[in-house]
């Protein structure tokens, strides 16, 4: 199951980067100024990492649920099975990438900042999920 998730996440990142490159600039940036090349590269990295962050957050959510926690977000609660959470995570990342890409057409710098901030917030949520899971496992061991 984990191998499948890694392969699917990698495929999503590659497809996202390919789609982002088609929307922004060709793969060869030799004629562009340095600042434009850097922002375009950062934009594509933000696209790709969004998928990885969301799949990781979904995985930590499932870990916390397996430990005994419950999903409090009513929008996510119906998708707490493994395939459902993975599909929901990829769909959520795709929606965020579409929104960031739309913003990036006019304001690439702001789009990079928004994408990075969203990725950071979901990494924070994943860290919290790991903390909850560890606490739930600890409580389970103390009850025995």
pLDDT (average), residues 74-101: 87
Among 8-12, 37-41, 66-70, 136-140, the minimum mean pLDDT is found in 8-12
Crossing angle of helices 82-104/2-23, nearest 10°? 20
Q: Which residue has the higher pLDDT, 4 or 93?
A: 93
Give the number of other Cβ atoms within 10 Å of residue 136's Cβ. 17
Residue 70 has pLDDT above 50, yes or no: yes
Q: At 121, which helix (H) or strand (E)?
A: helix 108-143
**Percentage of the chain exceeding pLDDT 70:** 78
Is the predicted pLDDT of residue 119 greater than 50, yes or no?
yes
Read off the tokens for 38. Answer: 């850097």
Is the separation of the CB atoms in 42 and 52 below 8 Å?
no
Question: How far is residue 114's CA from residue 76's CA, in Å, rounded to a whole number?
Answer: 22
- In Å, the largest CA–CA distance within the chain is 67
- Please give the structure tokens belonging to residue 97: 């990438």
């Amino acid at each position: 199951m984990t191998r499948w998730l890694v392969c699917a996440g990698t495929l999503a990142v590659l497809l996202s980067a390919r789609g982002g490159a088609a929307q922004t600039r060709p793969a060869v940036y030799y004629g562009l100024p340095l600042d434009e090349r850097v922002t375009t590269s950062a934009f594509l990295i933000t696209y790709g990492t969004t998928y990885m962050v969301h799949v990781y957050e979904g995985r930590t959510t499932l870990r916390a649920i397996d430990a005994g926690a419950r999903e409090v977000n009513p929008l996510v609660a119906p998708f707490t099975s493994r395939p459902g959470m993975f599909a929901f995570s990829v769909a959520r990342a795709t929606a965020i990438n579409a929104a960031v890409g739309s913003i990036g057409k006019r304001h690439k710098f702001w789009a990079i900042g928004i994408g990075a901030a969203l990725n950071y917030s979901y990494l924070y949520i994943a860290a919290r999920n790991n903390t909850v899971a560890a606490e739930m496992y600890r409580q389970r061991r103390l009850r025995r």
